[in-house]
Amino acid sequence: MPAKIITTDDLREFKLELLQEINELIREKRPGRFKKEWLKSTHVLEMLQISPTTLLSLRANGTIPFVKIGGLIFYDAEEIEKVLIENTVKTSNKRR
């Protein structure tokens, strides 16, 4: 069987391919890759500075989406932020 000579360019190319494959594996296996941040009601109350009754109303009328597991209610932090952005009121500084 004839011997094959490996050049430094071959090794460099191998290194780049290996690093690329390792990076892809890390991205696939990374815990929390699709992790959402879930907030409990107490955190949402503090964050929005609202009362429990107001939070109940926002849930009941569908303004704030939530997930209920057993007796616990969780809110997706991204959804809360989206609701805040969508309901931002811009006022004019002009007085009549």
**Total domains in the fold of the chain:** 1
Domain membership of residue 53 as a residue range: 38-86
Question: What CA–CA distance (Å, rounded) separates 53 from 45?
Answer: 10
- Name residue 69's amino acid: I
Name which residue leads in pLDDT, 50 or 1: 50
Residues 22-81: tens digit of each pLDDT: 888 877 766 555 567 899 999 999 989 999 999 999 999 999 999 999 999 999 999 999
Answer yes or no: is 30 within a domain: no
Give, as one character, the DSSP assignment of residue 38: E
Instruction: Give the span between the Cα atoms of 80 and 48, in whole angstroms.
Output: 9
Q: Is residue 32 part of a domain?
A: no
pLDDT at 2: 79
Tokens of 14: 């191998």
C-beta of residue 32 within 8 angstroms of C-beta of residue 66: no
